[in-house]
Amino acid sequence: MIKTNTTTSSMNSEDPINLGDKLRYKDLTDKIISLETTVAEMKEMMKQTMELSRSHPST
């Protein structure tokens, strides 16, 4: 049976995900930032759409 270390005592509290590969971590971080930006843009578009639909009700 292979036993792995599942403790978090060696992890940096600022970096709870210990990926071991800094380039992979940066890639994932960049993707999350991009996703957050896209979601914020979509929320703004939805808000504008809702405001337009309220000011121009369909007949």
Does an H or E element contain 41, and which?
helix 22-55
- Is there a domain that residue 14 lies in? no
- Is there a domain that residue 36 lies in? yes
pLDDT at 23: 81
Q: How many structural domains comprise the chain?
A: 1
Enclosing domain of residue 24? 20-54
List pLDDT tens digits, range 15-43.
Answer: 566 656 778 888 999 999 999 999 999 99
- Is there a domain that residue 33 lies in? yes
- Is there a domain that residue 2 lies in? no
- Is there a domain that residue 47 lies in? yes
> In angstroms, rounded to a whole number, what is the distance separating the alpha carbons of residues 42 and 44?
5
- Is there a domain that residue 50 lies in? yes
**Over residues 51-56, mean pLDDT:** 89
Question: Average model confidence (pLDDT) for the chain?
Answer: 79
> In angstroms, rounded to a whole number, what is the distance separating the alpha carbons of residues 13 and 25?
15
